[in-house]
Amino acid sequence: MTAPTPKKRNLTPKQWAEAEALWTSGEVTYEDLVKKYGKSISTFERHFRAKGLSKGATAAAVKKKVEETLAANTIDEATVIAARIKETKEQHYSWATNLAKLTWNEILEAKRAGNPLSVATNNLKALESAANVMKKMREERWAVLGLDRPDAVDPSELPELLIAELTAEQIQELRDRDHSEIDDLTAPPPADDDDADDEDGDDAVVEEGV
């Protein structure tokens, strides 16, 4: 007497939900489902037809969602990088401006006191060292932000500069203006009115004596 063939069990709701998800994702074939769940191809065909499910139906939606997520992440990252670039440029511009002012002040102080620039050598060297440190910091931040690459700046975004050739008279005028500005800064303060009156009074006394 032959043993009865064991009856194949129906899939549980959880197994059917899993099979439906695999089928609509487009990642499996009927043969894959037969091997996994032990049911015939016709069983899956009838089930999916009754449910109105087609192979790969959700693949496009999943792909679109992934693409949207990647695009959003890219935009967020670009926004953060742009903010960091702006912050870096503003900071280093401010630092460089302050160092330039300090250096210029050292030169003016030496000129006001009538001293050679060698007197301010130590201070100027300290400012030079600070400038070199700032330069290294800037180069490091530039590299991290990708600003050191040749293609980091779009030439089409740069403002157009109109450069005219200066005449000899214009060059001399600029030099004279620079010298006059330095002389104005270093000139001694004018005498007080009281001192002028005293000098006039002294002259008057002398005249009376004569």
Say if residue 208's pLDDT is above 60.
no
Question: For residues 68 and 111, which has the higher predicted lDDT (pLDDT)?
Answer: 111
Distance CA 80, CA 88 (A): 12
Say if residue 154's pLDDT is above 70.
no
Q: What is the pLDDT of residue 35?
A: 92
Say if residue 98's pLDDT is above 80.
yes
pTM score, whole prediction? 0.40
Give me the count of residues in the chain: 210
Say if residue 156's pLDDT is above 60.
no
Q: What is the pLDDT of residue 52?
A: 86
Q: Which of 100-109, 128-137, 190-199 is the least confident region?
A: 190-199
Any residues with CB less than 8 A from the CB of 113 and at least 6 apart, and which? 119
User: How confident is the model over 40-62, as pLDDT tens digits?
Assistant: 999 998 998 898 888 877 777 76
Q: What is the pLDDT of residue 43?
A: 92
Q: What is the pLDDT of residue 150?
A: 75
User: How confident is the model over 114-151, as pLDDT tens digits?
Assistant: 888 788 888 888 989 999 998 998 888 888 888 888 76
Q: What is the pLDDT of residue 162?
A: 47
DSSP designation for 150:
G
Q: What is the pLDDT of residue 188?
A: 55
Q: What is the pLDDT of residue 55?
A: 82
Q: What is the pLDDT of residue 204?
A: 46
User: How confident is the model over 62-92, as pLDDT tens digits?
Assistant: 677 777 777 777 777 888 888 888 888 898 9
Distances (CA, A) of 60 to 6, 21, 50, 54, 64: 41, 14, 22, 12, 6
Q: Which of 5-9, 28-32, 61-65, 201-205 is the least confident region?
A: 201-205
Mean pLDDT rounded to a whole number for the chain: 75
- At 52, is the secondary structure helix, strand, or coil? coil
Distance CA 34, CA 54 (A): 17
Q: What is the pLDDT of residue 116?
A: 85
